[in-house]
Chains A and B, each alone.
Chain A
């Protein structure tokens, strides 16, 4: 900004801080709650400063000593979540890179039609096709399995579309130079196309990972075996206790644990992510 008016600076800072406060308050509450004994919530008031139970709470949740309503410890569910999220992300990237590659660089009959069919699936997220998809997965005997968790979610029209746009801006001379240099379709894909789409892949990786990690409905529907429970699912389970109080402190620890991996991915890939969103490095 070229303008330098004190009140403007004040207003803009104030509104930014307000925004941060609104977003961060729940996280803060969760963090604080995870350090109190569960009784602290019984009275209906929310503590705003740390208690002394932090280590104890985190340890017991992590090792599964606290009753979570699920038979496996939290670290195991984290692993499940992780496998699912990573599987969905890698699968989505792989499939959409290949389909975008085919659509942009190869001339085959009904190329345009193929693209539009893929595009139309944007209108069919899992939630819409959940019953038939369940039927298919059940018939294939994939209930309660990692492949059942992952496969139905990996088709991605969004990613295909974004990669298509990215590939189409690839300079024609570069493609021709690679042809003259003797790069066949496979070499071209791995040596030229993939490295040049690096930033786009990173950006999509972040978005897809968070999407995969936060999946709730689909895992709830197809897993009945606790060994395949994901972390996000287990939070709901913890809130649905039959008798007695909800152990808010343990719920909050689990919530925080569920937040860490997406945050770590965003922070870790921030540089590439931003680059992928704003420029194309070509």
Chain B
């Protein structure tokens, strides 16, 4: 049975702002769904509607088959982890974790047992008697997760839970969240604007753009077959090179000097894309075009080369990603080949993949 169903969900704020026009999403039991998109695209709004913190202006929200539109957050059987953790500052870690259970009227013994077992799972045994301000950021994060876990909810909701941690801890917590979620098998809705987090955590990704779901699918599906240029640019780092072009009998015509052969029956203006990691350095004879190098970023394991492609009328920026260290000269030419099976072609008008 599907766990959470969003049916034509929309949100209009009281000031008239149409934050989310309409979203349909069916989440299976135990699935890890990541909502990702640029700032202000409505990720938090959507999550908060599922949580019950924001009213639903339109559509139906079903959790385990029951419509919960008008239920209080506490009655929806969800648990939420906030960006700033939102721990009760005057309560100990134990009391923080126990508070939801206490309000549900569980007995002291049951509470103690549940809190202890979750604390063991998260390595919080030593910290139970401390107050939140006596904890490090990572520990607070863990307590916030513990508080969500003791309630044994049907759905976990996370709103950018890792964005206040330093880079190293973020990676560690990311792995931990994933493992815990697998172990507990709890359906999870996770909001982030970090695409690495999104790719590594998700069973399925929902890419939001201005309140619309641009594409829903597994991280690999989104990487390999982005439905729109927006998704193509958003998923993958550095993002995909996208160039405006024209499709005609000869193929893809980037400018009057440069065209790439392609047999396709679509005609008209398109957007042509290729990922930086799929471009190959070749000799001049086999090359599709040349890149004038402007900057080189060596990261050790890989090298990012930024440059421009001369299209006659204008220079289009392009990034190439090569394995291992390279030291090409600035302003020299790099001959590149774009293998046909890695091309992405989008209609410039409808923004859809061709």
Contact = CB atoms under 8 A, between A and B. Distances in A.
Q: Which among A177, A179, A183 has the highest number of chain B CB atoms within 10 Å?
A: A177
Given A173-B84, A176-B53, A180-B78, A196 B103 contact: no
Interface string B322-351: 000000000000000000000000000000
Q: Which among A181, A183, A281 has the highest number of chain B CB atoms within 10 Å?
A: A181
A174 interface: yes
A153 B110 CA distance: 48
Contacts of B82: 173, 176-177
Nearest to A173: B86
A180 to B, nearest CB: 5
B86 A176 contact: yes
A181 B89 contact: no
18 contacts: A171-B86, A173-B83, A174-B86, A176-B51, A176-B73, A177-B87, A177-B88, A178-B88, A179-B52, A179-B53, A179-B72, A180-B51, A180-B52, A180-B80, A182-B75, A183-B99, A183-B103, A282-B89
Contacts of A182: 74-75, 100, 103-104
Contacts of A171: 84, 86
Given A179-B53, A180-B51, A180-B80, A174 B100 contact: no
B83 A195 contact: no
Contact of A177 (B52, B72, B80): B80
A214 B133 CA distance: 39
Interface in A171-200: 171, 173-174, 176-183, 187, 191-192, 195-196, 198
Contacts of B74: 179-183
Interface of A: 171, 173-174, 176-183, 187, 191-192, 195-196, 198, 281-282
Contacts of B83: 173
B53 A181 contact: no
Contacts of A187: 103
A229 B147 CA distance: 55
A187 B72 CA distance: 15
B155 to A, nearest CB: 11
Nearest to B157: A180
Contacts of B168: none
Contacts of A195: 90-91
Nearest to A194: B90
Contacts of B103: 181-183, 187
A178 B88 CA distance: 9
A282 B86 CA distance: 11
A192 B79 contact: no
A182 to B, nearest CB: 3
A171 B86 CA distance: 8
